Amino acid sequence: MDPNNDVRFLGRSVTSLQTMLRVIALHDKTCPTVVPDGIYGAETARAVTVQQKRAGLPQTGITDFATWQAVCAAYRIAAVEVEPAAPLDVVMNPNQVILEGSDNLHVLLIQAMLHILHEVYPNLQDCPLTGACDGDMACAIRSLQRCCGMQESGILDKRLWQHLTGLYFQAVGDGDRKTHCGG
């Protein structure tokens, strides 16, 4: 065994390997489950052997470079199905605000969030989906600000964005109407 070619000797790499094997097992129930404990024991070796067999590699239970690459490839496929979808990061620059008359591509997204929140919380002002930062949107923003105990300016800034996205996440979660919207 060559320690330079064996991942078992690379410290945190063992935990990374085990984490990838765990995600693969969550995706494919025929794969053995591994606890990411940082110890390259019999369970890890067994899971590695399964991945080696699937990749057409020699079944040694030792994680060499080719095995590491095979596990990484299987992990990338499994992670898409197992891990949550990547969050949407909307960029708001320092001191940037969205107010009535603004020409901003995020407006339709904001309107959609406000509209859906109105479905969950009918006391919030509805917001038509127009893509224009108009008076209706300003009214819906003021309604949200009132609900959040903020000054009712009708202007969406980073602070209100935090409230909007937090409330949206709490109310809508994964978007399943049966779970979150009483449907």
Give pLDDT, residue 13: 87
Q: If we measure between CA atoms, which residue out of 43, 142, 150 comes closest to residue 100?
A: 142
**For the domain with range 3-82, which CATH number is right: 1.20.120, 1.10.101, 1.10.10, 2.60.40?**
1.10.101
The pLDDT of residue 106 is above 90: yes
Task: Report long-range pairs for 19-23 (Cβ below 8 Å, ≥24 apart).
Answer: 20/71, 20/72, 20/74, 20/75, 21/47, 21/48, 21/51, 21/71, 23/75, 23/78, 23/79, 23/82, 23/83
Confidence class of residue 4 from pLDDT cuts 50, 70 and 90?
Answer: very low
Structure tokens at 1: 């065994």
Which pLDDT belongs to residue 66?
95
| Band of residue 113 on the pLDDT scale cut at 50, 70, 90 | very high
Domain residue spans in the chain?
A: 3-82, 107-180
The pLDDT value given to residue 83: 85
Q: What is the mean pLDDT of residues 34-41?
A: 92
Q: Is the dihedral of CA 93, 95, 100, 102 positive or negative?
A: negative
Higher-confidence residue: 86 or 39? 39
Contact 25, 36 (CB under 8 A): no
